[in-house]
């Protein structure tokens, strides 16, 4: 079996930074370390941190007064920060800088009196955090159909931003609907969908024509991983999202000559390697790496972590 290994794949700069932040807080403070929501949406990453003394919480009130809290890569709302300060928590912010960029756009549009359309999945952690910046001014839309049903107070004062991990195809469809219905709508000069999401989706689109099946390593609650499966299916190929090699079903590959392997931006490379080993051992897989773009993005540790290191 021919196995095409997509590159780039797996961890992006924001995920690398967030995971490194939790590692360093563990080193500096020792267990227990509290993280607001999953640091990234990957079951293996979360379980590994739990085994090392990290407690993931869904409410600031779960953290002992005076404790340390790490904010996940998906960003958080001002209300969460206020609640943390009320409990005298030491805050370490591992929010992805590209998510913070969207937050800043929302704040700018809100200051200028705009109603803001947030294109994204309304229950996703990133959406909840972003909407929290200006909840009285933001309307979330998930589809072009929802655009048609929109009621806004002033069509001349309208702007949109997007979630960073959307399907490019779906996002373009919603944005086209917004621009058609509201021709004067404002938007950021640069797309909000992050470079890693774009690169991984583009790789699937370009390489899917050469294979019969696409295997995506990632967790079910990972938006960017699920969008890779969507891309495979848009290309007319079978696509499967698996947490690890143990979830691979042999019948998916029965009679198949070629498979594409990729991984969402929150999936560790060791999970990809385990999958490749299974494909080699059980299916005679011959792996060929295809590099479509080299990624050299790096994010420095947040100032809040550097401050913690000085105190420690």
Query: Which residues are known to be catalytic?
Result: 126
Q: Distance between CA 9 and CA 212 in Å, rounded?
A: 19
Residue recorded with tokens 């910046």: 133
DSSP letters spanning 163-175? -TT--HHHHHHHH
Q: Are 265 and 216 contacting, i.e. CB atoms less than 8 angstroms apart? A: no
Strand pairing partners for 260?
Answer: 4, 214
Q: Are 152 and 158 contacting, i.e. CB atoms less than 8 angstroms apart? A: yes
Chain centre distance of CA 138: 21
Closest CA to 268 of 47, 34, 2, 36: 47
**In Å, how far are 144, 169, 253, 273 from 213, measured between CA atoms?**
29, 20, 7, 18
Closest CA to 87 of 110, 109, 61, 108: 61
Closest CA to 222 of 185, 252, 161, 266: 266
What torsion do the CA atoms of 48, 275, 95, 227 make, to the nearest 10 degrees? -140
Closest CA to 94 of 40, 49, 45: 40
CA R_g for the chain = 21
């Amino acid at each position: 079996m021919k196995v095409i290994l997509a590159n780039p794949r797996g961890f992006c700069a924001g995920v690398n930074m967030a995971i490194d932040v939790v590692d360093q807080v563990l080193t500096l403070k020792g267990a227990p370390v509290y993280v607001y929501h999953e640091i990234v949406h990957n079951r293996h990453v979360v379980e590994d941190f739990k085994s090392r003394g990290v407690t993931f919480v869904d409410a600031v009130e779960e953290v002992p007064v005076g404790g340390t809290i790490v904010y996940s890569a998906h960003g958080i709302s001002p209300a969460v920060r206020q609640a943390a300060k009320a409990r005298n928590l030491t805050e370490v912010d591992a929010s992805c800088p590209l998510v913070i960029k969207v937050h800043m756009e929302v704040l700018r549009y809100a200051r200028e009196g705009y109603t803001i359309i947030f294109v994204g999945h309304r229950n996703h952690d990133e959406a909840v955090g972003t909407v929290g910046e200006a909840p009285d001014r933001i309307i979330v839309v998930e589809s072009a159909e929802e655009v048609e049903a929109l009621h806004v107070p002033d069509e001349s004062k309208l702007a949109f931003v997007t979630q960073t991990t959307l399907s490019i195809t779906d996002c373009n469809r919603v944005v086209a609907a917004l621009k058609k219905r509201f021709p004067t709508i404002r938007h950021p000069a640069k797309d909000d969908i992050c470079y890693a999401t774009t690169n991984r989706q583009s790789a699937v689109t370009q390489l899917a024509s050469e294979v019969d099946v696409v295997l995506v390593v990632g967790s079910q609650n990972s938006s960017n991983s699920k969008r890779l499966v969507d891309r495979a299916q848009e290309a007319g190929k079978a696509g499967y999202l698996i947490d690890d090699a143990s979830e691979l079903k042999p019948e998916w590959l029965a009679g198949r000559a070629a498979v594409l392997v990729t991984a969402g931006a929150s999936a560790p490379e060791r999970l990809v390697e385990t999958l490749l080993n299974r494909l080699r051992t059980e299916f005679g897989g011959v792996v060929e790496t295809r590099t479509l773009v080299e990624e050299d993005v790096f994010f420095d540790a947040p100032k809040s972590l550097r401050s913690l290191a000085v105190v420690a």
